[in-house]
Amino acid sequence: LLPSRMQMPGDGLQSVRDLDTVRGFLSGQGPTALFDMPWMPFYLSLCFLFHFWIGVTALAGALMLIGLTVLTEVRSRQPAKEAAKLAAERITLAEATKRNSEAVLAMGFGHFIGERWTELNRRYLANHVAASTVTGGLATASKILRMMLQSGVLAVGALLVIRQEATGGIMIASSILVSRALAPVELAIGQWKGFVAARQSWARLTKLMTLMSSEQREVALPAPRESLVVENLQIGAPGSRNLIIKGVSFKVAAGEAVGVIGPSASGKSTLARAITGLWLPLGGAVRLDRALITQWEPSELGRHLGYLPQDVSLFDGSIAQNIARFDPSANSEAVISAAKAAGVYDMIVQFPDGFDTKVGEHGSVLSAGQRQRIALARALYGEPFLVVLDEPNSNLDADGETALTRAISGVRARGGIAVVIAHRPSALTAVDQVLVLGNGQMQAFGPKDEV
């Protein structure tokens, strides 16, 4: 849900790393110090009960250690925050370089990427070292101060014993109590870097959770069977108020297919994201059978939708798993039916392992055309009512385009709706209506032959 609410920074996986950071801190020694700190006043009050000057000495040491804790917080907050930001940028750059490695090598700009990585790495290490130096140095100082304070309490206790104002037992007990009272502060300073990182991660996770709807639908709507209605749709990119789609309205009935055409940057892919519920509208509505698509649970709505994005990417797994959307309860008949509907059954069974063929990361084992045809089968899996295809023939040959035309005709024949976004006219062979977009506005809509 998050991409429909806001722009995701970096590689979009910061929330996963934040969760690991919080879990790592909670499973370490940091919380122990926080749990022990409330006992400090109790131990210090016992020192005052032993003798006033023993209590004053312990209190002075506690105040100095608390001051070191505050100093640690002030000095380490910004370097730790900057180091976390740069760490995310480093990972993003590494992922982008890996994903575009062929272009980088072919065009010989790898050394420029290397220079950028070196600069990012230098800044990350500088902030990381700064944060570590602050916490490490102050942790050492706090340990030395605590040991000096223990010796100081022993000295005060010895002086009181000499003056017969206290006993030897009180002197030893005071030293032990001071050690117990101030140990949590020392431990907290040593763990402060992890605490700052966990606090920043928790703040980001809390912000994300407020953007995610936790409402549970009391009534499950029936599967849509009649129409798709777009009413005065206004939509922009997540987190932006700039409109990409401006007041688009149209209606498509069951058994119809509409082709969406227009120049580049006219809003065609944005319209596809709005229809599938990926991006939430800033105004207007998208309805299936008169109900807003937001009235369905996302997982339930997904059963009634098929979507082929412009940038096709498969998951590491078998062809069957990708077609079945990794549904563990998927049956072979449904997978084969989707493959045949997309016209890829014959292509798949020619592989040595057939439907069990592993596609690799992002489908790297397959060609671009093969990935696109398998993604089309994934979109058709389960015979969804609404099928949205964004540039479905961008990597297809003549056989693939013929299979695409049959797939769109098949959706119409079973009473579904197909929305096909295309630049090449061959993708519109099986559609009966055409919507023309220009500058985010509807220029024309009607029967294909007339438009």
pLDDT score, position 208: 74
pLDDT above 90 for 149:
no
Taking the alpha carbons of 16, 21, 27, 31 in that order, is the dihedral positive or negative? negative
CA count, 13 A, side-chain hemisphere, 58: 30
How many C-beta atoms lie closer than 10 Å to residue 207's C-beta?
A: 11
pLDDT score, position 111: 80
pLDDT score, position 337: 94
Q: How far apart are CA 427 and CA 438, in angstroms?
A: 19
CB burial of 407-421 (b: ≥16 within 10 Å; e: otherwise) equals: bbebbbeeebbbbbb
pLDDT tens digits, residue range 75-93? 777 887 788 788 878 887 8
Which domains, and CATH codes, for the chain?
2-211 (1.20.1560.10), 227-447 (3.40.50.300)
Lowest mean pLDDT among 173-182, 319-328, 371-380: 173-182
386-390 and 433-438 as β-strands: parallel, antiparallel, unpaired? Answer: unpaired
Q: How far apart are CA 216 and CA 63, in angstroms?
A: 50
* Mean pLDDT for all residues in the chain: 84
Lowest mean pLDDT among 313-322, 378-387, 423-432: 423-432
Better-scored residue on pLDDT, 251 or 11: 251
pLDDT above 60 for 279:
yes
pLDDT score, position 70: 77
The H or E element that residue 386 is part of is strand 386-390
Average pLDDT over residues 136-158: 79
Q: Residue type at 194?
A: G
Average pLDDT over residues 32-47: 77
pLDDT above 80 for 184:
no
Is 277 within 8 Å of 238 (Cβ atoms)?
A: no
pLDDT score, position 61: 81
pLDDT above 70 for 352:
yes
Is residue 235 helix, strand or coil?
Answer: strand
Q: How far apart are CA 279 and CA 304, in angstroms?
A: 17
Q: Rounded to two decimals, what is the model's pTM?
A: 0.71
pLDDT score, position 210: 73
Average pLDDT over residues 258-277: 91
pLDDT above 70 for 7:
no
Hey, which bits of 254-355 come out as E strands? 257-261, 283-288, 291-292, 305-308
pLDDT score, position 5: 54
